[in-house]
A = this chain, B = another copy of it.
Amino acid sequence: MSQTPDSAVRTYIADHRAAFLDDLAEWLRIPSVSAQPEHADDVRRSADWLADTLRRTGFPTAEVWPTKGAPAVFAEWPSGDPDAPTVLVYGHHDVQPADRADGWGTEPFEPVVRDGRMYGRGAADDKGQVFFHTLGVRAHLAATGRTAPAVNLKLLVEGEEESGSTHFRALVEANADRLAADVVIVSDTGMWSETTPTVCTGMRGVADCEVDLYGPEQDIHSGAFGGAVPNPATVAARLVAALHDEDERVTVPGFYDGIAELTDAERDLIAELPFDEEEWLRTAKSHATAGEAGYSTLERVWARPTAEVNGIGGGYQGPGGKTIVPASAHLKLSFRLVSGQDPYAIEAAVTEWITARIPAGIRHSITWGAPTRPCLTPLDHPALQSVVRAMGRAFGAKIRFTREGGSGPAADLQDVLRAPVLFLGISVPSDGWHSPNEKVELELLLKGVETTAYLWSDLAANWPRPAAAGDPSARPAT
């Protein structure tokens, strides 16, 4: 297949830009706040609106998929080419709560275009980033003269991302056949900055637990008994303190097993980014960096696993003092995981490590939440190469690489569908996700459109064709 001509794509986008922005504004007017029960109808309305719009875009199939919570939207547009790769695009149509009184300059659900930006809740997170795929596929068809995309294109747009994706994994598992894909492209992230376009190649996973420690059967007098019985708050603190060594490495045996160390090439790519530590600390609202010896801040956040105390509590926490040995103490721990770590192996290792450290006279329990796996797509993966080329053409700039330190439902897609996950996002840090005056930069939004217009052709052209049977290198590993 030939490359899509850039000029044809740009002309098509310029011609349809106004209608595209009008449609996005109409969607933003639906306050699809999934966390607020009073907006349940709006979330359903948002799903219906999107399914209609995807049908109008040309998707032969566009369905609203109910869940036990808010509905998702699924759409599918087959390529017609039996050898074409299948791409699943992920996004979400629900939004964070928003109230004018929180500091919005305009009504959050009355989108306004000003100074090249569209302001409104969901403009960047995530309706804008879902929506660039609609004009993108139309531009792709117009510029190539095709009647169907060069790839088998699927979209899954969930309705509960902002309220915990509670039913997402079950939805994916129940529909794994229809969602099956060679690669997943998540459009729910951002780029480094307006001037440094980037593609994200992975997210950390997470395993989290609560550790409950019980000592005396009730709070007891620290004068009468203190110094002669074990104190569960002390035990909790000692567990936390023992989790790291002096180099801030996690001490749980086996914790780092299976992790591929960062290569020099990967470290160079991270070091290329124009990282400003002062600015990063302002974003982190923190006053110093810290962490595992031998790694930079970005390496620590993106490429290294952690053990973090999310909460600790035990004994008296009110005003003044109370001379007790507390009856119990509680820890909330979470472990960010990177590629190569299996959450269940980490859970087992941490459980064993904690259990071995519980002294006589202290009872304990450990409760694990549902883990999220890490995901990381290798830099030489053909889909990643396609995304980089497509973005490079759209942005006219070198595309660099980032990762996400957080964890998300994308990992469920990777996990259930056994497909690599890439992150194609055009949002920038100033877009104000979850904050008042959320906006999207229109120029970047249209670069997103343009990227996908190139991407499907590039992916189809460069995807490894099926090889002779028995050749295990025919498809990229997931």
Binding site for B on A (CB under 8 A): 203-204, 206, 208-210, 215-218, 220-231, 233-234, 236-242, 244, 281, 284-292, 297, 300-301, 304-306, 308-317, 320-326, 329-330, 332, 334, 336, 359-363, 369, 404-407
- Within the complex, which residue of B217, B309, B330, B359 is in contact with A237, where a contact is CB–CB below 8 Å? B309
Known: A225-B405, A229-B281, A229-B289. 16 other contacts (CB 8 A): A209-B321, A210-B321, A216-B285, A221-B406, A226-B306, A226-B308, A228-B297, A229-B291, A233-B309, A237-B238, A238-B240, A241-B241, A241-B242, A286-B361, A287-B363, A313-B313
A225's contact among B240, B286, B314, B325, by CB below 8 Å, is which? B286
Partner of A315, one of B286, B290, B309: B309
The answer to whether B301 and A228 touch across the interface, beta carbons within 8 angstroms, is yes
A221: chain B residues at CB < 8 Å are 406
- A227-B292, A310-B326 as given contacts; A336 in contact with B222, CB under 8 Å: yes
B291 touches A228 (CB 8 A): yes
Residue of B nearest to A369 (CB): B321
- List 19 contacting pairs A-B, 8 Å CB cutoff, sorted by A: A208-B323, A216-B285, A227-B291, A227-B300, A227-B301, A227-B336, A228-B301, A234-B241, A236-B312, A237-B241, A241-B241, A287-B363, A288-B360, A309-B315, A310-B322, A310-B323, A312-B313, A312-B314, A321-B369
- Residues of B near A359 (CB, < 8 A) are 288, 290
* Chain B residues, CB < 8 A from A240: 233-234, 237-238, 241
* Residue contact A238 to B241, C-beta cutoff 8 Å: yes
Which of chain B's residues have a CB closer than 8 A to the CB of A326?
309-311
- Look across to chain B and name the residue whose beta carbon is closest to the beta carbon of A240: B237
> Chain B residues with Cβ under 8 A from A308's Cβ?
222, 226-227, 231, 234, 323, 325
With A217-B285, A233-B240, A405-B223 known to touch, is A310 a contact of B290 (CB < 8 Å)?
no
CA A436 to CA B110, docked complex, whole Å:
65
Which residues of chain B come closer than 8 Å to A223, judged between CB atoms?
A: 203-204, 206, 336, 404-407
Q: Decide if B316 touches A332 in the complex (CB within 8 Å).
A: yes
A353 to chain B, nearest CB (A): 15
Task: List the B side residues contacting A217 at CB < 8 Å.
Answer: 285-286
A286 touches B215 (CB 8 A): yes
Q: How far is the CB of A337 from chain B (nearest CB, A)?
A: 11
Q: What chain B residues lie within 8 Å of A238 (beta carbons)?
A: 237, 240-241
* Residues of B with C-beta under 8 A to A224: 284, 301, 404-406
| Complex-state Cα separation, A126 to B347, whole angstroms | 54
A313 to B230 alpha-carbon distance, docked (Å): 18
The one of B204, B229, B324, B332 in contact with A286, judged by C-beta atoms closer than 8 angstroms, is B229
Contact yes or no, A330 B310, CB < 8 A: no
Residues of B within 8 A of A316 (CB): 310-311, 332
Residues of B within 8 A of A330 (CB): 317
Q: Which residues of B contact A236 (CB under 8 A)?
A: 237, 312
In this complex, what residue of B is CB-closest to A325? B308
Chain B contacts of A291 at CB under 8 A?
A: 227-229
A321-B315 CB under 8 A given contacts A204-B223, A242-B241, A406-B224: no
A369 contacts across to B, CB distance below 8 A? 320-321
